[in-house]
Amino acid sequence: MANFEELKTAMGDLDEVLVLQILGEVAADGGDSATEALAACQAGMDIVGEKYESGEYFVADLIFAGDLMAEAAALLKPLLADTETISLGKLVLATVKGDIHDIGKNIVKALIEAAGIEVFDLGVDVGAEAIVGCLQESGAQVLALSGVLTFAVESMTEIVAAVKAAGFDDVKVIVGGAPVTAEYCEIIGADAWSINAAEGAGICRDWLSA
């Protein structure tokens, strides 16, 4: 059985060799503990953030942390996915204009895909025009927006207004990221919000299963 406390610490220490070794053990065990492993990696990212804020880590460390988290999420994704699940529906995902943080977005993506939803990931710094275009082309029923900068809330508001103006009244919108609150959700005009990736994925799954 993999040691998740050790995994969390290894992620916080940016010890790539140990992180990959423990994830290898999770896979060898059949992947039953993939959800706990993902949570441990996320908890390790919190340690990275604390070390950055205390001056122990620098921007280069954050970029390395982002790559390591993306690698971990990619390794865990096939273990999280229920291979019996048929596609529940389609979802467009993006980090909004002005914001290039994508670690949280990529975690949400892994969990949404694991819930059996097809994700159209537009990347970072994405504005209303690209999102409306992707909704048109994909026929997605859900739009998920991520933003970590306080400023992201303004971009989200603009995007949701543009989506509604383009006539996508039936598209459900969920917003997430550190600055998002219930109050912001209302201002943005979104249908739901969460700062918890697993909870957000669950909301999308419930919408598409209904």
Contacts of residue 177, Cβ cutoff 8 Å, sequence gap at least 6: 101, 104, 146, 147, 148, 152, 195
Q: Is 100 in the site for ligand B12 (CB under 6 A)?
A: yes
Nearer to ligand B12, 19 or 144 (CB): 144
Q: Is 59 in the site for ligand B12 (CB under 6 A)?
A: yes
Please tell me the distance from the alpha carbon of residue 105 to that of residue 184, in angstroms, as a whole number: 18
Q: How many CB atoms lie within 10 A of CB 41?
A: 26
| Residue indicated by tokens 């390591």 | 68
DSSP assignment letter at 87: P
Question: Distance of alpha carbon 139 from its chain centroid, rounded?
Answer: 21
The SS3 assignment for 34 reads helix
Q: Is 42 in the site for ligand B12 (CB under 6 A)?
A: yes
Strands of 172-176's sheet, edge to edge? 117-121, 89-95, 142-146, 172-176, 192-194
Q: Is 187 in the site for ligand B12 (CB under 6 A)?
A: no
Q: Is 86 in the site for ligand B12 (CB under 6 A)?
A: no
Stretch that binds ligand B12, among 72-80, 101-109, 113-121, 155-163 (CB under 6 A): 101-109
Nearer to ligand B12, 107 or 131 (CB): 107
Nearer to ligand B12, 29 or 70 (CB): 70
Nearer to ligand B12, 132 or 205 (CB): 205
DSSP assignment letter at 86: P
Query: Using the rule CB under 6 A, which residue among 26, 68, 108, 153 binds ligand B12?
Result: 108
Q: Is 10 in the site for ligand B12 (CB under 6 A)?
A: no
Query: Using the rule CB under 6 A, which residue among 12, 44, 104, 116 binds ligand B12?
Result: 104
Query: Which residue ranges make up the site for ligand B12 (CB under 6 A)?
Result: 42, 45, 49, 52-53, 59, 62-63, 66, 98-105, 107-108, 144, 146, 148-150, 174-179, 194-197, 200
